[in-house]
A and B are shown apart, each in its own frame.
Chain A
């Protein structure tokens, strides 16, 4: 199977949209669309807790798996911004489908990092043929703490034998291949684990069994199950990388996968925003649409702003995989925390606009909202939960503080990373993925210089003020970071400071992405007078003040002219299918109700 070849991410995404909408055939009006047959099919599969097979088949036919495979192994996986956009596209139709399909990228990532040519070849062929690969890390009694994993691989007959249980694992039952983390040395040690590529078909019968699918709160059709090994013999060639390198490989692979998970949030947030925005325009309360009232407009505007901020953070993060590779230990933790968290906030606020329609499974847009809400709750949990990522970030506070004080920036890498939607970033040097970022975080550390340039150069009304205020807050956050004493078990305050730093990152990503894209996007409504970036900075600053427990920010000039144009634009875009975010893509039409 070969990947469909298209010029840009946007054209690819449009083709993917079409493929998904065709999965269920035309709607009653003959037109495919989110309110048409595909939306109903999603709802039905969810209600029946069935694997989203019709959609997954479309993704395979489209050639999406090729984007999980690096070019040197015959795939199309050269640009993670493209992959993020494709994932967002799928997720805005059906998050369950994306979680089910995207798992293969997660499962295979370690192979590209640590596998030899033969292992990579085998895996690439399997992925390109549409076979899922699972990533078996979690154990019943050990979720986040990989070091304490109890599943063992012991040397036997020139190979290994696996004993133990991996659960809960996405696609554990459906995937013919699994990358499995197993203990090969001392418990609790960083060098005590190794990673294995397990070919299920090669296992002797009776040495493994599938654990039943777990019923879950959301993503109800997805194969969340497990696998138990009992004396399962593996050939020596199943070992990925050297013995004892398993944890390091996983931590490096997580830098890619955690960053990409943010795209799931972008899709879920967009899907929900379109539903709620359409409803706000239609809903008549006291004889006028909600959209004609200031308070619902402010809600809708804030949600659009936070979604735009998530998008900037996620897309800058996805490009950073190529351009700021050595900083990904920081960037991946930031992006994996901030995008799901902002999106959960957005979903909660949109649910208030929708009222009973956020809760009923068959009343509005096929009850899509409540499904998005349930499905999305897993994003902040899997592949490293928000507390896990924050704890990881806290460990890097000293470097980040030093980097900010010194103003350390990889200027060339930064310029490439923030050029969202611009020229494709350079190839990924996988060896440059390191467990700690020596430089810190260029996106944040360049904020003072960026704020200065906005203050002196031409900028939309209010933006320089927002940038200066964000910079001041970011400096204060670094003071707090500097005061956190190193500890194996950091105090709650450290997690809160990490959360604030994430918002600073999102704000800096917005400013950079706006600055880099303003000429290319000239004339687009969201870019008019810097509408989206002012809205995003305002919303992020308010969240920062609440999180840091400081006084609410004073409005910047022009802040009173954000909500109405933004809410009206988003409501209109929900109707016409225009993009709802600054780096978004049009949505094929079909209506929502």
Chain B
């Protein structure tokens, strides 16, 4: 099964009679329900098998393939993407990472039978600060007694199983929590109470629930890994799921951009098509460059899960942070182009407002933007002092999107400090000898990113102890933010330059223009170069749309 097979199953999005087309997706959203026909289609497809490692009977062996399938789903309906897809994925990665054979088998059986596993980590009072989560598990007989509340948890009421994050030790140390795999029907009646559903402004179909446990006994076999391992397992698992997230964000942006392009071609303003306005063409070109930046960066990071696993403690939060920022900014820019059409819940562009609401949680879900930067901060001085000067470049295969990969090995992911930063090493290799006044704009971009890295190196090496924590100064946060932009630009340079010339040259310039814009300072392109690049990007984007091809780097043909 492939993303193309899922696309075929989901059919033409614009066909009003398609039970999983946009009209049906919007109607389900209005009812605040999951799209039942969509869930049935995914049952048919066996989506859950994408989350189950091949060793346990599923299809998971490559993170990029997993992300491609999930992106397809998120392109159609983020509610299905989260409510059917992502939630069980996050839960199960923890089990593959640290569960015993019995737990893995149970999880695999459940998922392969189209069941669900909820991820019950979140408590409203603590949010991302899960080291201070209050939900507790106390030793009892030979098992545990669970007490406390979990809130705003997708699918928790209807999932057959859940992975629960609970305090098992005193204090807030990193060894104070553990994870448990619980099967709903194995729990004694009365020990578990479902909280009323939490309603939300976006992802309205996803059933966000909550549970309250009161001295609920669970058997010893429910514990995932060993006591106190909860945070470590979560941090390792997040390296996978926070890498998949950025890649799936491309899906809703693809659909939104497609709507805007269609609108700009169809609607008339000032005696011409909306697309005749230079402002509109530039906005579309830039949003497409943003999409390609997200795709290239997340594509490299997904490959790094296989090829540079020790760097994932840095790459995963960096990707999650920057792609979420780009995504939300791009939606804002596109909203301005659509104008009143961005606001109507009916009509040919109604999908836009739904997607805009659905992507809003990118700021906080799974990890908040600020928390992602806090994760990066303690890594920066070491990267600056050792990894960047060392300059070891990644193998070109890291950038060969779609190329061969060894099977995903979650064991190789660790929450520790990376010694190397291969993506940055590749930047240094590409930028070797590049000058800021080169006639080739790509060389100028490379020089610019290298110079930015040098400024970052000085800044990061000088960070004091307080700047490596949540108490860091805004200036320290800004360094972490700029690092993510340099890392993304380096990924993009690698993708375009390390593996032949399969992607359009104008797109490279457009993407680098957008990413260097995020670093601050003067543009690398001259105004004329920029206008030319954006003209070519607009034409290419329209061509892709009219040809029913995806706007991402795959340019795959899709049903609509």
Contact = CB atoms under 8 A, between A and B. Distances in A.
Interface of A: 138, 141-145, 147-148, 168, 188, 214-218, 284-287, 293-296, 298, 344, 348, 351-352, 355-356, 358-363, 367, 370-371, 373-374, 377-378, 380-382, 385-387, 391, 488-493, 495, 545-546, 549-552, 563
Given A294-B471, A552-B520, A148 B271 contact: yes
12 contacts: A142-B269, A188-B271, A216-B343, A217-B357, A286-B129, A294-B473, A298-B474, A352-B364, A356-B364, A387-B339, A492-B283, A492-B531
Contact of B364 (A359, A380, A546): A359
A370 B361 CA distance: 11
A214 B342 CA distance: 13
A216 B344 contact: yes
Contact of B198 (A141, A362, A488, A545): A362
Given A286-B470, A355-B368, A381 B202 contact: no
Interface in B321-343: 328, 332, 335-337, 339-340, 342-343
B360 interface: yes
Interface string B87-100: 00000000000000
Contacts of B271: 145, 148, 188
Contacts of A545: 520
B343 A217 contact: yes
Interface stretch (B107-115, B272-280, B414-422): B272-280
B517 A549 contact: yes
Given A217-B343, A356-B124, A362-B199, A492 B474 contact: no
A492 B152 contact: no
A94 B346 CA distance: 24
B197 to A, nearest CB: 9
B270 A493 contact: no
Contact of A550 (B128, B276, B521, B531): B521
A551 B448 CA distance: 13
Q: In this complex, which of A355, A490, A493, A552 has the most chain B Cβ atoms within 10 angstroms of its Cβ?
A: A355
Given A144-B339, A361-B199, A293 B522 contact: no
Given A356-B122, A490-B278, A552-B521, 13 more contacts: A215-B344, A216-B344, A217-B345, A285-B128, A287-B172, A356-B124, A356-B152, A358-B363, A359-B364, A360-B200, A371-B201, A381-B339, A382-B340
Nearest to B269: A145
A549 B522 contact: yes
Contacts of B473: 294-295
A224 B131 CA distance: 47
A286 to B, nearest CB: 6
A293 B129 CA distance: 14
A452 B353 CA distance: 48
B267 interface: yes
Contacts of A147: 270
B268 interface: yes
Contacts of A387: 279, 336-337, 339
Contact of B370 (A352, A373, A549): A352
B132 A287 contact: yes
Contacts of A285: 126-129, 132, 470
Pick the 8 closest A-B CB pairs, nearest first. A492-B282, A370-B201, A215-B345, A355-B364, A298-B474, A217-B353, A361-B199, A285-B129
B279 A495 contact: yes
B120 interface: no
A79 to B, nearest CB: 31
B364 A358 contact: yes
A251 to B, nearest CB: 15
Nearest to A47: B199
B527 interface: yes
Contacts of A371: 201
Contact of A489 (B276, B365, B472): B276
Nearest to B473: A294
A492 B344 contact: no
Given A293-B471, A294-B473, A356-B124, A377 B523 contact: no
B482 to A, nearest CB: 10
B279 A359 contact: no
Interface in B288-336: 328, 332, 335-336
B345 A216 contact: yes
Nearest to A391: B279
Contact of B339 (A143, A362, A549): A143
Contacts of A142: 268-269
Contacts, number: 176
B520 A546 contact: yes
Nearest to A390: B279
B373 to A, nearest CB: 8
Q: In this complex, which of B270, B342, B353 has the most chain A Cβ atoms within 10 angstroms of its Cβ?
A: B270
Contact of A361 (B200, B282, B337, B472): B200
Q: In this complex, which of B202, B343, B470, B531 has the most chain A Cβ atoms within 10 angstroms of its Cβ?
A: B343
Contact of A377 (B129, B200, B279, B343): B343
B199 A360 contact: yes
Contacts of B328: 348
A362 B32 CA distance: 15
Contacts of A293: 470-471
Interface string B484-520: 0000000000000000000000000000000001001
Nearest to A345: B332
A381 B370 contact: no
Given A355-B368, A359-B200, A360-B200, A295 B472 contact: yes
Nearest to B283: A492
A140 to B, nearest CB: 10
Given A217-B353, A293-B470, A492-B278, A356 B343 contact: no
A279 to B, nearest CB: 11
B254 interface: no
A363 B197 CA distance: 11
Contacts of A361: 199-201
B369 A352 contact: yes
Nearest to B152: A356
Contacts of B477: 295
A141 B267 contact: yes
Contact of B522 (A141, A144, A363, A550): A550
Contact of A352 (B132, B282, B339, B368): B368
Interface string B246-287: 000000000000000000000111110000111101110000
Contact of B277 (A363, A489, A546, A550): A489
Contact of B127 (A356, A382, A385): A356
Contacts of B202: 359
A295 B470 CA distance: 8
Q: In this complex, which of A296, A359, A546 has the most chain B Cβ atoms within 10 angstroms of its Cβ?
A: A359
Contacts of B523: 549
B7 interface: no
B269 A295 contact: no
B201 A215 contact: no
Interface string B12-54: 0000000000000000001000000000000000000000000
A251 B560 CA distance: 42
B534 interface: yes
A382 B271 CA distance: 21
B370 A295 contact: yes
B325 to A, nearest CB: 10
A490 B281 CA distance: 12
